[in-house]
Amino acid sequence: MDTNTARSWLTFSAPVEAALRTGKPVVALESTIIAHGMPYPDNVRTARDVEATIRGLGAEPATIALIDGRIRIGLSDDELELIARSDKVHKVSRRDLPAVLASGELGATTVAGTMICAALAGIEVFVTGGIGGVHRGASETFDISADLQELAKTSVAVVCAGAKSILDIGLTLEYLETHGVPVLSCEQDNFAAFYTRDSGFRADFRLDDPNEQARFIRTKWDLGLAGGVLLSTPVPQAAAMPSDEIDAWTEHALADAAAQGITGKAVTPFLLGRIKALTDGRSLATNVALIRHNAEVGARLALALAQTRRAAA
């Protein structure tokens, strides 16, 4: 890949460009959570809150989206509103990037899409809500999120509240292991499960301190071991949902999706919306709390990674 040609598709906001030029830590943020993960105005309010959280800890947020045939690295308030309010925003993963850029239409980047764009921009840390993974029933449908392949090949550290509980988390972790993706956990030994704190599956390594996390990640990349690192941190206890309740709602939502013939990349937005309805909005409050907490963990990691880079210079 010609990196210079690929970077020619990027347009940086002034604050992000200045941060990258001066070595200030930058944290990438996806836009699918804005366009497809939450209703308006909760989506734009949460996006601004998350950006403010990252700035308050000394890093610069870079929300990523596709607008007018360009990959925007960092969005203005007006651009955030555009993504949050528009009726037609494409969900953009690796396969969708060329089509949406070529058409000039609006695109919201998924975990995979954001990782690609962050790596092109030279951003090492990306904060999301929960990653995609192996869907339940994948042995028959082969429905496996492109997020997992991207984690195997693209060298970005991804901070999340585990995998979405609508997935088969055990198989998701098996897939990551097979493809050599280290799964770190902080604040607890086990991998998180999005709405609930504990998936019941252990992470590969527990590292609570951001400096330890940064040393692990820098060591991996210094060894030439390409690919991402996944850092799981649980939703704050006060906002967590009971696992038995969320499991029951998830089964209900999955049955609704099957009955309506919803498949592919439309499944996750449908399930999140259906669970929000079934929980009378409680799941949305949990989603907001976990993404804010992830932003705090990600900003501290970005600061620590920047220190390791300066120390090696």
Give me the active site residues, please.
30, 164
Phi, psi of 126 (to 5 degrees): -135, 130
Q: Residue 156: phi, psi to the nearest 5?
A: -135, 140
- Measured CA to CA, the distance from residue 15 to residue 13 in angstroms comes to 6
Going by C-alpha positions, the residue among 30, 39, 40 that lies closest to residue 107 is 30
Q: Shortest CA distance to 229 belongs to which of 264, 171, 183, 271?
A: 183
Residue 22 near residue 309, CB atoms below 8 Å: no
CA distances to 47, 70, 155, 189 from 74, rounded to whole Å, are 12, 12, 20, 34
DSSP state of 209: S
Q: Are 232 and 203 in contact (CB under 8 A)?
A: yes
Selection from 179, 181, 180, 183 nearest residue 203 by Cα? 183
Give the separation between CA 25 and CA 157, rounded to whole angstroms: 13
Contact 241, 286 (CB under 8 A): yes
Q: Rounded distance, CA 273 to CA 39, Å?
A: 9
